[in-house]
Amino acid sequence: MADTFKLEIVTPYGLVMSGEAEELTAPSIIGQITILPGHHPLLTALTIGELSYKYKGKTEYLAVSWGFAEVTFDRVTILVETAEKAIDIDLTRAEAAIKRAEERLKSLTEDDADYFTAKTSYEKALVRIEVAKKVKGS
């Protein structure tokens, strides 16, 4: 069996990644899942979170938001609305964003129409920071 699979990460703004990978971890809506080559075909919804893949001993991290992963025997297609590579994330900007989102969230209650949007942007910001730190920390 092949020890790699073809991985494609696509957003409405373009192809973020296209190449080989040995291992993929993605934030599915029922929890983190890891996919290895030869995985059974799978279609799953993804949520806001951290996505990582390994190739030749190197791990790449991305912050993604809502989307899908389609797994077939030899390829994985990830369709997400946003995907940012860890190295492209500006940590200071992300931290400013999380402060903004936090304050906004405090001023709202669960009944507000904007509560959900605010919460989503808070989660997105949180993930971006975590992902960015992974690279900066190493």
Partner 1 sequence: MASLRDIRKRINSVKSTQKITKAMKMVAAARLKRAQDNILMARAYAERLQMVISSLAARIETKTHPLLEDREEKKSLLMLVFTSDRGLCGTFNSALLKQVEAYVAEKREAYGENICLMVVGRKGVEYLKKRNYNVIDSWTNIYQKEQYETARTIGEKIIDSFINHQCDEVVVVYNKFRSAISQVPTFTTLLPLEPIVENPEMPLTEYIYEPDKQTLLNELLPRNVFTQIHRAILESIASELGARMTAMDNATNNAIEMVDRLTLLFNKTRQAAITKELMEIIGGAEAIKK
Residues that bind partner 1 (CB under 8 A): 10-15, 28-30, 33, 40-45, 68, 70, 72-73, 77, 79, 81
121: left (phi over 0), alpha (psi -120 to 50) or beta: alpha
Q: Tell me the closest approach of the beta carbon of residue 39 to partner 1, in angstroms.
A: 9
* Beta strands 83-85; 58-64: pairing state: antiparallel
Q: Tell me the closest approach of the beta carbon of residue 105 to partner 1, in angstroms.
A: 19
Q: Tell me the closest approach of the beta carbon of residue 47 to partner 1, in angstroms.
A: 11
Nearer to partner 1, 15 or 91 (CB): 15
Question: How far is the C-alpha of 88 from the C-alpha of 129, rounded, in Å?
Answer: 11
Question: How far is the C-alpha of 76 from the C-alpha of 43, rounded, in Å?
Answer: 10
Nearer to partner 1, 45 or 91 (CB): 45
